[in-house]
Amino acid sequence: MKISSSVFWNRCLSLLRISLEPSEAVTELNWIAKHVYQASSPLSLIDKKIERMCFLRGAKHMPLQYLLGSQPFGSSLDIKCQPGVLIPRWETEEWAIKICREIKTGVPLSSIKIADLCTGSGCLALIFSQHLENCEVSGIDISLTAIRLAQENLVRNARSVGSHGSISFSEGDIFELIPGKTLPKQLDLIVSNPPYVSECEYNSNYHTELSVRRYEPRLALVGGVEFYQQIFNIAELTNSQAVVCEIGGQEQLNEMAKVVSRTNWILGAMCDSHEVVRTVIGIRRTSVDWLVLSNLFDLEI
């Protein structure tokens, strides 16, 4: 279907209201148009639908992933996104791929038990299961909306994930988990992207975009050092050999390092491609199998 150049530029202008670069606005408009065409909407409604989506994006600041309904993650996962559940971020994808690669080539175990604490859409549980042979992944989240979406994402990505492992998702508060009951008794690895934005950062326009505050759940974002402390407590209770968590920068890393036992854990951190401290890696001091993860340390704590 052809549209006039004035309609095209009006739509781009709507998108430019959320301070995109002109080239980004054109790209987003193309994605929106493609999405509407692929949804096989009746021809008479296509224009109206595109217009409405540009309005929601530009004037109402709705994240593109909620409008399009999904976000690619890793090489071939397609994660369904919906308001009420955090949209997977590129930073998370980046560290998850690096960790999977290192485990695949360097951890000499024939099977691995993993917990993905604060699983949200299930993106981490899915990518680990996709990349690692013979692993059993338990994804846990306090939000039932998130757990339902994670289960949908498992079905949606069944082909990409394959059948070399098992994944289960369940509702649970990480501050109340009981190994052997609400969590496997013994684990090898804990991965987590917990809520780590401070109250102050959450309320600042500089740190947290309006679109995030308006549409993504506060529960998924606001949190602090208590989450890292609890994740390492769970690692102790389940005799986990390694812990990998996303973190919000150097300052938070320093705070976290104060609450985790150095007697039991070798701690290091990885930076993301924007040079921000983004991932903390803990390796149990007695563990030989997982020592290979220290290859990824950009800094030792």
Ligand X SMILES: C[S@@+](CC[C@H](N)C(=O)[O-])C[C@H]1O[C@@H](n2cnc3c(N)ncnc32)[C@H](O)[C@@H]1O
Q: Which residues in this chain contact ligand X in the complex, by CB under 6 A?
A: 86, 88, 92, 118-121, 123-124, 141-143, 146, 173-175, 193-195, 219-220
Work out the end-to-end distance of the chain between its first and last CA atoms, rounded to an integer number of angstroms: 58
**Long-range pairs, 32-39, Cβ under 8 A, ≥24:** 32/57, 32/64, 32/67, 32/68, 35/67, 35/68, 35/69
Q: How far is the CB of 7 from ligand X (least distance, A)?
A: 36
Nearer to ligand X, 153 or 241 (CB): 153
**What's the min distance (Å) between Cβ of 184 and ligand X?**
16
Least gap, CB of 46 to ligand X (angstroms)? 32
Q: Which residue is nearest to ligand X (CB)?
A: 120
* CB nearer to ligand X: pick between 14 and 252: 252
| Residue 53 or 99 with smaller CB distance to ligand X | 99
What's the min distance (Å) between Cβ of 223 and ligand X?
7
Q: Which is nearer to ligand X, 226 or 300 (CB)?
A: 226
Question: Which CB sits closer to ligand X, 196 or 265?
Answer: 196
Least Å distance, CB 44 to ligand X, is 38
